Amino acid sequence: MPANLPPQYFEAEKRFRAAKEPEEKIAALEAMLAIMPRHKGTDKLHAMLRQKIARFSQEAERKFATARRAGFYISREGAGQVMLVGPASAGKSQLLATLTEAIPEIAEYPFTTKTPIPGMMKFEDIQIQLVDTPPIGRKEVRVLLSNVLRNADIIAIVIDLSREPVSQVEAALQGLREARIEPLTDDGTQVTPGSYPRRMLIVGNKNELAGSNENWQRLCSQYARLFPLVSISAREGGGLEEFRRAIYQALNIVRVYTKTPGSKADMTDPMVLEKGSTVKEAAESLHKDFYQNLKYAVVWGSGKYDGQRVSKGHVLQDGDIVEFHI
């Protein structure tokens, strides 16, 4: 029986043959599997692709182990993980040092950051992890960084507003594309099969320097329809509250507070949920017993009336207080 493979399969096969990194080969092979019709004529081909995926997965794991030994592995903490990406001397390390208790090396000369450095940034009542990264343009760094960047929730492209801004952003985007990371947008833009779509924002740093205002206007004109943008001065502290808020909004999360019947709500340690989560999903996140035995919930905040009884499918809003009844 002929395989009758569609043209998209051969496009994925071409990407596989051109790929140099094991992760790229795996992505192309998985795309081939997803596109390939399943019938007796494709059984052998299906098995062969599975074997190749297993082989390249072992190779990727060895590379990941190398990255871990080199310090290119960051455990995710807090409400979200944000990678600071950009050219040398854009001020990523200064931003990390200003907003967290991390102590990166800060100097006027480029390439002072050699491995990813994490720190925790406070936003109101939650903590968000920021990670300073080496300049992504160098191939040996990009290979080691690829897995770290792909696991991030947000990628913040930090550029120097005292220098030509568009070329800095384009260089960062090109480096991310070479690591198979593409922007995740809300306008329905299709991403390349096998890539890792991630939410991104652009941070214009050093807005206290001469020429920064004109470059900020150029940046907004070029990218405002594609990305959230924020103008800051990591050194002088300008715009940092706007930066915190922009990061929180880009994470696409909500904070939900809980209370037990007859008690006050605990407003110190919110549950962090994906935006659009329901009462049922919140209960499942809290404890499996709540999820299995939940009858209904009472919500303060997003309902028409405070203390409104809602169903399991009620969508929670940021700042809601939930009382679970089981």
**pTM of model > 0.85:** no
Task: Please report the sign of the dihedral spanned by the C-alpha atoms of residue 159, residue 163, residue 165, residue 169.
Answer: negative
pLDDT band at 1 (very low <50, low <70, confident <90, very high): very low
Does the structure show a pLDDT above 70 at 170? yes
- What average pLDDT score do residues 211-238 get? 95
Let me know if the fold of 81-251 is the same as that of 253-325: no
Q: Of all residues in the chain, what percent carry a pLDDT higher than 90?
A: 40
Domain ranges of the chain: 7-69, 81-251, 253-325
Between 220 and 263, the more confident residue is 220
Residue 128: per-residue pLDDT: 96
- What average pLDDT score do residues 261-278 get? 88
For residue 211, the one-letter residue type is G
Residue 129: per-residue pLDDT: 95
Residue 250: per-residue pLDDT: 95
Is 81-251 in CATH node 3.40.50.720? no
Phi-psi region at 91: left, alpha or beta (left = phi > 0; alpha = psi -120 to 50): left
Does the structure show a pLDDT above 70 at 269? yes
Residue entry with tokens 């997003």: 302
Between 191 and 300, the more confident residue is 300
pLDDT band at 25 (very low <50, low <70, confident <90, very high): confident
Between 228 and 135, the more confident residue is 228
Q: Which of 232-236, 263-267, 302-306 has the lowest mean pLDDT?
A: 302-306
| Of the options 3.40.50.11540, 3.20.20.70, 3.10.20.30, 2.60.420.10, the CATH number for the domain spanning 253-325 | 3.10.20.30
CA distances from 304 to 162, 178, 275, 301, 308 (A): 49, 49, 19, 8, 8
Between 185 and 126, the more confident residue is 126
Of 15-19, 106-110, 247-251, highest mean pLDDT = 247-251
pLDDT digits (tens, 9 = 90+) for 124-154: 999 999 999 888 766 655 666 777 888 899 9
pLDDT digits (tens, 9 = 90+) for 287-303: 776 667 788 888 998 65
Of 96-100, 174-178, 182-186, highest mean pLDDT = 96-100
The answer to whether residues 165 and 227 touch, using CB atoms and an 8 Å cutoff, is no
Which H/E stretch holds residue 7? helix 7-18
Pick the closest to residue 248 from 224, 275, 278 (CA basis). Answer: 275
Q: What tokens does 304 get?
A: 């028409």
pLDDT digits (tens, 9 = 90+) for 51-110: 888 887 777 666 555 545 445 567 888 999 999 999 988 999 999 999 998 776 655 545
Q: What is the mean pLDDT of the chain?
A: 84
Q: Of all residues in the chain, what percent carry a pLDDT higher than 70?
A: 85
